[in-house]
Structure formats: C-alpha cells, structure tokens
Chains A and B, each alone.
Chain A
Amino acid sequence: MYNINIKKEDWHLSLEKLLSTYEVFVPVKDEYSLDYEPFRLPEAGKIAYNDPKPATPLKNFFLPVRENVTSARIEDKPRIIIGVPNCDVEALKLLDEIYMEESFPDPFYRNRRNNTIIISSDCFGINEHCHCLTYGVKPYPTGYSDMALVADGEDVYLKVFSSKGEELASQLTASNVMTDTSVVTFLEEKHKAVEDLLTSRNKGLPDYMTTGMLVQKAGNGIWEKYSSKCVSCGACTTICPTCSCFLLIDKPGFEKVKQMDACQYPGFERVAGGEDTLFELPHRFRNRYMCKYVWRPQKFNAIACTGCGRCIEACIGRINKNELFMELV
C-alpha cells in the first residue's frame, strides 16, 4: 500500500537537499536510451520514473567492472538509486546470497549494499524482450528494495519497505501521509495492463522451472545451432543482472584486482596443463543456460534469470534465448 504522497516538485527539491549527504541516481531518458544518471535539479524533467528499463543492470552499482580489492578505500558516501525495475531487484537476491554469505562476505559489496537505498518502481510499459512475468517476477515492486515509487502527473507516491526507506522518508519535506486511495485503483489498472501485455507477448514461453528441465535434457544439436552465431563477446553476461563471475588479477605488492569475467570467454575454466572443459563454443554456450536455469537455482534460494531480456537486446549475433526455448518446448 502506497502511504506517502509528495508533489513531484517537492520530491525533486528534497532530492536536491539530499545531495549533500547522498549520491542520487535517477533513470534519465534521452533520444538514444534510458539509463541511470546522477540527479541534477535543472534536468529533473528528463527523469523517466516508470519506463522500462535502464540499460545498465543494477549489479553495476555493487560490482564494478574492475576494482582493486586489497588496497582500495571502501567508499562511505551513501547512495540512493531511484527507478530500479523489479527484475533487477529480484536479481539482487542471488547476488546477495553469493556476496554477503556469512563465511566469506565481500567487504566491498557488503559496504555498498549497506550504504545504498534502492527505490524501485513499477513498469508502466514493456520493452520488446521483457518477460519477467513468465519467470514469476512481477513488473512492479514486491519488496526487497527499500522503497517503491510511482509517479503520476504532478504526484509522486512512495511505499516504504525497509528501515532504510523509513529513515529516508523522514527526511522528505512537504510529504503527506496518504489518505486518498484512488492511486490504488489507478495502479491496479496499470498493473493489469502491463501483465496482459507481457502475457500476450510471451505466449507459449515456458516458465522458469520448465525451462530448467528443457535445458537439462536438451541435446547437443540445439547448442550447436544457436551458438553458431555467437562470437563469445560476452555482451549477454556483461549486461545480465545476475551474472557476477570474476577473475582475480595479481599486481605487485600482493595486490589483487577483481575484474568481471564470464564463462562465455574462452579459457574461463582452463586449468594448469591446459585442459579446458569449456573449450568448445557450444559447451560454453550451454554452460550459461545450465548455470542460469539449472545449477544456480539448485544451489541458491534465488532465480538466476529474471526475464529482463537485456541479453537478447545486447546480442550482436541476434541470438534470442527465448526462440531457443520455444524450439525446445
């Protein structure tokens, strides 16, 4: 239930004030794309609050492409990230399980998570390859973030999910506790429209569990066919909100640089002596599907594909994983 109402103008003024304490990122739309940018009051009009979907996956805020993990200073300035789609929030569950598990918590990831307030938002439309709903992920906030946000005309509606969100809400000026419930009807209509759109666009696409079973029993032929257009560029894994594999690179002084890596690059599993179980391209290609739909969900209490569709958009070989799955059905 959305419980805070604030005029958009006041919301933007509040964000301007918060800049003294926080770094604030908002989804900004220009003629080419929609992506996160630092908040600047004069350009607040360009913020696209409820449009799908920032080009950059949320993971990049927590897992930089490259960082020194032995001597780098841990950043302290807290951040607010606004307009995070639910597919990316859902993806964070897997990353949290990997990077914050008790035995070996990653101090850099954990610090960024603790210092970041995530404000998720409803998608009021879909992109060509969005298929979150097929995998049980709603196209609107369902928790796990700190707050949810809906913008409608001159109004902004907020819902608090966490204590971090609560604290932020207390810092907003000119906000009101909501009494008007008409936004509920407005949202129900919006949600239904987007869900109907997702359902009709992805008709026949198998759900997450079924996909796992199909992938597991698929023969070599399908991997050979679809990987024939793959150039191992790694765009799919780079843009994926759940892919988080990395390589540690040694630097003088026993320093380590952690750099994002991917099973789609040759040599990912090469061992001493040269043996490489993923040397053949179809094997590497299959590995990504097995990881996302079979192995990760077996091991973690989270899904490893949230249906954002970015990998399909990013592929320069125009490989569409959903076409592959439809062929397996």
Chain B
Amino acid sequence: MANGKNIYKPVRARLDEVIEESPLIKTFVLIPEEEFSFSTGQFIELSVDGIGEAPFTPSSSPLVTDRLEVTVMKTGYVTGYMHQLKPGAFMGIRGPYGRGYPVKAFSGKEVLILGGGCGLAPIRSLLFTLEHMRDDLEKVILCYGSKTPSDCIYKPLFSRLNSIDKFEAYRTVDKTEEGWDGPVGVATKLLDSIKINISDSVAVVCGPPIMMKFGTIRLLEMGYRDDQIYLSMEKNMSCGLGKCGHCMMGEFFVCKDGPVFTYKEIKHNPDIWK
C-alpha cells in the first residue's frame, strides 16, 4: 500500500482457546500474527472471516502483549458466528481504537468501579491495570451486578480481588437462584454500603445503558462531580476511525473521541442514554 498503512485491513489472529464463561458468554484467546498492543479501555474491531465484524474492548491485561482475550456475548448475527468458532480458527483484528481509561490520572486516588452484565469484560482489563499500579492507588472497589448468579462472568475474579491488598469486590444479582446467599438487587444498591472518600476518588461505570444512566445519577447523588465519573459508551462502531458515522453521539464519534468519556464531557447531550 502506497503512503503507509491501510486503515481498513485487519491483522489475522489465531484463536488459541475458547473459554465458556456463561451459557451466552465466551472468552476468545487470540494470538495476533503481528505485534499488537492496546491501552485499557480502548477497543478493537474483531471479525469473522467473510461474515462481519463488531467492536469489543479486550478483557485481558494490556501488559500481556503476545495474546489477547476478548469476551463476547452471543447477541446477534456476528457474535452468533463467533460462538461457533473452534480453537485453530483465524479471526481478524483492527485497532486498537479510541481513548481508553486515563489510568495515570487515577494515581493517588480511590477508584470505584460500577459494572453490570457484560460490562465486566472491559472492567477486568482495567482491574489488571489497576492491580499492576496498586502501589500508586489508595483503594479499588468493584461493585458488580448480573441478572442471575449464573450470568456472572469471571467468578474466580471476585475472590482473587478480595485477596489483593487495597482491593474490594462486591457482587449482587437481580434475580436469585438456588445456592446464592449474596445480595439481591441492582448494582447501584451495593453503593449504599461501601466506604469511600468521594472527594479523593474517581468512579468508572461500564454496563448496559440503563445501568449507566441510573449508576451515574446515583454517583452524582453520592457527591461525585461530573468530571470524576468515567463512562464507557456503547454505540455501533463500524469503522473505528471516526469516519463512517455510525457511532455519532451528538458531535462526538464514540469510536475516536471515546469510548471512555467523563460525564462532564457528554452531559449536555440529552441523547446519551438512548
């Protein structure tokens, strides 16, 4: 290609392992054929050859550069095909794209993470990063909600986090099942019982739109300022390059200007929760 890289061309990646997280969620462990690295919160376009591609935030640590994990919920046409793939298959990767979490700015702070459903995938990548820099952090609290106990992904993650100094992880479910003795209710309910020094804290919210909305409202009620709340927005990001227009959110291209925004940056747009 004349004049440098072709922005539309994917890098091939071999599917090394498929991990079943829940009935509808699988994690794909990929080994890219070319050097590939990302910052936490950035996303990639992952494709099934000849079928289609979709945007995902890797769920693995950005510090691991020889492999990449992407957690995918089976929810439509492309993800349906992804779930049929077996180890040894090749997938396509474009990216990484967008602006991730500004983790350097989290130094010296208490980090509160509010997550729901499949939003735990990008949060896991963030948690790996925060774990790596825990000496610079005061505290990390994860409050996570899933629909049912069996819908919760990365279950061993919670006990592991609770064993790390400065880390606390809490889980709730919307609907209980046999064997569950933890809290029942939406993820924002967990915020009622945590201890956090709000003035010296940042909050990260990632999950389904409804949780993002009510999570943000609750955080504002708790006393968080709009510039202390980081939201990972979800849109139909087709090109990932700030060109195709599918992910427009007001004047922003979510793929390029985001996907992570502070609430302050986007609150003027009444359409953000749609």
Q: Is the CB of B2 within 8 A of A299?
A: no
Query: In angstroms, how far is the closest chain B Cβ from the Cβ of A260?
Result: 10
- Measured CB to CB, the nearest residue on chain A to B47 is A250
Asked whether any CB of chain B lies closer than 8 Å to the CB of A104, the reply is: yes
Complex Cα spacing A291 to B8, Å: 24
Asked whether any CB of chain A lies closer than 8 Å to the CB of B23, the reply is: no
Asked whether any CB of chain A lies closer than 8 Å to the CB of B223, the reply is: no
- Measured CB to CB, the nearest residue on chain A to B78 is A272
Beta-carbon contacts of B233-274 to A below 8 Å, as 1s and 0s? 011101101111111101111001000000000000001001
A277 CB contact (under 8 Å) in B3, B4, B52, B271: B271
Residues in B33-84 with C-beta less than 8 Å from chain A: 47-54, 73, 75-76, 78-79
Asked whether any CB of chain A lies closer than 8 Å to the CB of B6, the reply is: yes
Asked whether any CB of chain A lies closer than 8 Å to the CB of B105, the reply is: no
Query: In angstroms, how far is the closest chain A Cβ from the Cβ of B235?
Result: 7
Beta-carbon contacts of A262-302 to B below 8 Å, as 1s and 0s? 01000011111111010000000000001100111011000
A-B contact count (CB 8 A): 116
Q: Is the CB of B274 within 8 A of A248?
A: no
Asked whether any CB of chain B lies closer than 8 Å to the CB of A245, the reply is: yes
Q: Is the CB of B50 within 8 A of A245?
A: no
Q: Is the CB of B242 within 8 A of A98?
A: yes
Q: Is the CB of B239 within 8 A of A246?
A: yes
By a CB distance below 8 angstroms, the chain A residues around B4 are: 105, 107
How many positions in chain B have a CB within 8 Å of any CB in the partner chain? 46
By a CB distance below 8 angstroms, the chain B residues around A248 are: 8, 53, 238-239, 244
- Measured CB to CB, the nearest residue on chain A to B236 is A271
By a CB distance below 8 angstroms, the chain A residues around B247 are: 269
- Measured CB to CB, the nearest residue on chain A to B257 is A299
Complex Cα spacing A270 to B54, Å: 12
Beta-carbon contacts of B195-234 to A below 8 Å, as 1s and 0s? 0000000000000010000000000000000000000001
Q: Is the CB of B244 within 8 A of A247?
A: yes
Q: Is the CB of B49 within 8 A of A250?
A: yes
Do A106 and B51 contact each other (CB < 8 Å), given the known contacts A101-B242, A269-B236, A271-B236? no
Complex Cα spacing A295 to B76, Å: 30
Complex Cα spacing A228 to B83, Å: 41
Chain A positions near chain B (C-beta within 8 angstroms): 69-70, 74, 98-99, 101, 103-107, 110-111, 244-254, 256, 258, 261, 263, 268-275, 277, 290-291, 294-296, 298-299
